[in-house]
Structure 1
């Protein structure tokens, strides 16, 4: 047998498992099984896997696994968008490669509210922040499980006012999903953070010290990336242009970030996370619009 044929036979034996002992599922190790295999299953597959044994039920029910599973499946080919109509909510797959008809699945809205009064404000890792326009109440909703939590309380925290307020969803290092609510009333601003783990609000006391927050700036909702919740603030009414603020979720402090400079009189930006990096689409050059894509570095 030639040397080349011998090497080819060795490769086939290695690839097909010939010439060595077979490997059982117990030989993989629990970490590999959970974080390399089970984490790749769809949600229904994870639910079925919980019935295998008590150990799997315990591991797959942890907040850490839920967070890791959600982050793993949050890829471009698995993203979806939601359209609310009547009492039904239609879920469409988001695919740029498939030019065929959009097939949707439908789920019932779990909360008692007029469908035409429900606004989806933002999303993060499968969770949605929903506002009821008739009451202003904020709700965190998981469409997959149909679970929801009304976060407003008797102290008027969690009451949202369109065109004045801004919100952002994020997760901290303890895997606690939180909601940041920026509220502006009569020229003053308040910032509160809701913790889903403790089901409570607390106030960010130093927020009003920033002078540039006064007046009537237009705030975007937050975009979370690498431990920072980013907001774009349009202050053209006060001739300050557009500013970029970052809220560090661990220190709970706001900081002004660098915004690209443009020679044109008017420009606007939109934030998006691409491959776990913060990007910004900047529109400028009225009347002949130009759109640039910027990536934050450092």
Structure 2
């Protein structure tokens, strides 16, 4: 019996009771406690639950639980955005249904850095990748737990250069959270990947064969979807328009993907994930702008809606 079926049977047994009621919390079983109750707790509640016993501490400290917890709370009603102000961060709920005033909570920045030198580059499952503009150092930060880690290394793999580099956060099949760093220097491109599990960098040798185009194309930061980290590359100076590259996180290889084309002289795009599918907002038609929403469907794109 598969793990999913086993958990489903345990859930049904718990719900229907088979003629008797549970007399204690122990009768629920660890799977029910973890995947039906504890996974719904806020981060602080999970932290307190680790103090209950050694078994709970062991289960709640695994990367698998951390990943499942992040994915569970990442619903539209739980989405939040962060605004950095002085040495404080304001955390706002993101709700399209509530038109009232936004009520925010505030948290201290856990690292020593001038507030006006902190840039949030990208996010993934509750983790943020932050850059210090004055030093180029990269930090992975969890605002809920206030935990953070510098990922810069002695050979400068982690040093970030604004307007030249690109960053992407993702997780592989071993639940190892990784950071991909694209560096462009003197017409060449280097790619390194940081592993949070092993606290180390390694180089993607295949990507070193890729040369940057003249005119310094602009790379977006990465958007992770279904095992691929996607980057938009603006190459209008070379008359190549906008191109889409996908980095397969298992094979660690880049591949040029299809992208909607327009006859207009200028257009731009922004990648987003909607219902676990890759979408892109495309602005085109200067001076009378039009915004289209497209969805990736296999290796092609389908137009969802257009705004004039």
TM, length-normalised to structure 2:
0.87
Aligned length: 298
Question: Would the aligned equivalents of 2:130 and 2:138 in 1 still touch at CA under 8 Å?
Answer: yes
Distance in 1, matches of 2:208 and 2:9, equals 72
* 1:21 shift after superposition: 5.0
Residues 69, 265 of structure 1: alpha-carbon distance in 2 compared, 3 angstrom cutoff? same
| Aligned partners of 2:22 and 2:28 also within 8 Å | no
2: CA distance, partners of 1:41 / 1:208:
44
Q: For 1:190-231, what per-residue CA distance to the aligned partner results, in whole angstroms no more than 9, with x for missing partners? A: 100011111111111111333565651100000011111000
Distance 1:94 1:164, change over 3 A: same
What is the root-mean-square deviation of aligned Cα atoms in Å? 6.4
Residue 288 of structure 1: how far off its partner (Å): 1.0
Change (3 A) 1:243 1:53: same
Once the two structures are superposed, residues 245-298 of structure 1 have per-residue CA deviations (whole angstroms, 9 ceiling, x without a partner) of 000001000001110122222211100011111111111111111111111111
8 Å contact kept, 1:189–1:213:
no
> Residue 168 of structure 1 contacts residue 229 of structure 1 at CA under 8 Å; is this kept in 2?
yes
Q: Conserved in 1, the CA contact under 8 Å of 2:189 and 2:211?
A: no
- Displacement of 1:186 after TM fit? 1.2
Q: What is the distance in 2 between the residues matched to 1:43 and 1:295?
A: 33
What is the CA-CA distance between 1:112 and the residue it aligns to? 1.2
Q: After superposition, give the CA deviation of every residue in 1:81-119 in whole Å (9 maximum; x if it has no partner).
A: 111111111111111111221111111111111111111
CA contact (8 A) 1:187 1:215 kept: no
Deviations 1:48-100 (A, max 9, x none): 32233222221111111011001110111111111111111111111111122
Q: 1:288 and 1:202, CA in 2 relative to 1: closer, same or farther beyond 3 A?
A: same
Query: Equivalent residue for 2:84?
Result: 84
Q: Deviations over 1:165-209 (max 9, x none)?
A: 100011111111111000001111110001111111111111133
Q: 1:188 to 1:9 in 2, by over 3 A?
A: closer
Query: Where in structure 2 are the equivalents of 1:114-129 lying within 5 Å?
Result: 114-129=114-129
- Secondary structure, aligned partner of 1:251: coil
| TM-score for the superposition, normalised by structure 1 | 0.90
Q: Residue 137 of structure 1 contacts residue 159 of structure 1 at CA under 8 Å; is this kept in 2?
A: yes
Gaps of 5+ in 1: none
1:51–1:57 contact (8 Å) kept in structure 2: yes
Cα 1:14–1:131 change in 2 (3 A) is closer
Unaligned runs of 5+ in 2: 299-308
Specify the alignment match of 2:246 in structure 1: 246
